[in-house]
Amino acid sequence: MVRQDGPVSSTKPDRAAASGDAYDQRALAVLRQLRDIFAATQEHHAVLERQAGVSGSQLWALSEIARHPGIRMSDLGRTMALHPSTTSNLIDKIEARGLVRRTRSRRDHRVVMLNATQPGRELLERAPHPARGVLPDALERMDAGQLAHLAEALAPLLAVMGSGRAGR
């Protein structure tokens, strides 16, 4: 809150229905949970980078490409929930290291297909798992009901934060 002349407006939501202390404790518990999620993700990515020599995102992309030989750039982006330009930049980096190869479809030259090279497959074999990261792995292991509940619970947080990404 910024001090102003006159009344100070609060950015806190109306908590009349909830006890202030209980609300604060729940908010702190959620904050701790989110921090634990971020810390586990960052720790896993650091281990990946140290042991595999590539970023977590690069290793995840490589693992998806190896699992789905000939995957299209657009499908890889959807699988990883990435914008097309981000996907392209990510592939540029691992292609420059000789880990993947791009080929164009003979029928439609606009379609770019991706394949892991032998060095890319070897890197995957020696890399720590899960290659796609602990958060995507954990989400995939949850049942559909849990995922629906989590998505529903996170939507208001994103809305309050003003994220234009809520609901995507």
Residues paired with residue 112 on neighbouring β-strands, in sequence order: 104
Residue whose token pair is 């693992």: 63
- Any idea how long the chain is? 168
Query: How far is residue 133 CA from its own chain's centroid?
Result: 8
Contact 57, 51 (CB under 8 A): no
pLDDT of residue 168: 47
The domains found in the chain, sorted by start residue, are 31-160 (1.10.10.10)
Averaged pLDDT of the chain: 86
Return the sign of the alpha-carbon dihedral for residues 18, 22, 28, 34. Answer: negative
Tens of pLDDT, residue by residue over 80-114, are: 999 999 999 999 999 999 999 999 988 888 888 99
Tens of pLDDT, residue by residue over 144-160, are: 999 999 999 999 999 99
d(CA 136, CA 70): 22
